[in-house]
Amino acid sequence: MGITIRAYAKVNWSLSVKGVRPDGYHLLDMLMQPISLYDELSFENSRWLRMTVEGQGLPVGGRNLVMRAAQALNDALGTQRGAVIRLRKAIPARAGLGGGSADCAAALVALNRLWNLRLPLTTLVRIGATLGADVPFCLTGGLAHVSGVGDVLSPIDGAPRIPLVLVTPGGGLSTPQVFSHHDEMGLGVKPLDVGALADCLRRGDLEGAQALSCNALEAPAVDMMPQIGAFMQWFREQGAPFVRMSGSGSTVFAAFEDEARARALAEQVPGAAFAWSRA
* Residues labelled as active-site residues: 10, 134
Q: What is the 3-state secondary structure (H, E, C) of the chain?
A: CCEEEEEEEEEEEEEEEEEECCCCCEEEEEEEEEEEEEEEEEEEEECCEEEEEECCCCCCCCCCHHHHHHHHHHHHHCCCCEEEEEEECCCCCCCCCCHHHHHHHHHHHHHHHHCCCCCCHHHHHHHHHCCCCCHHHHHHCCCEEEEECCCEEEECCCCCCCEEEEECCCCCCCHHHHHHHHHHHCCCCCCCCHHHHHHHHHHCCHHHHHHHCCECCHHHHHHHCHHHHHHHHHHHHCCCCEEEECCCCCCEEEECCCHHHHHHHHHHCCCCEEEEECC
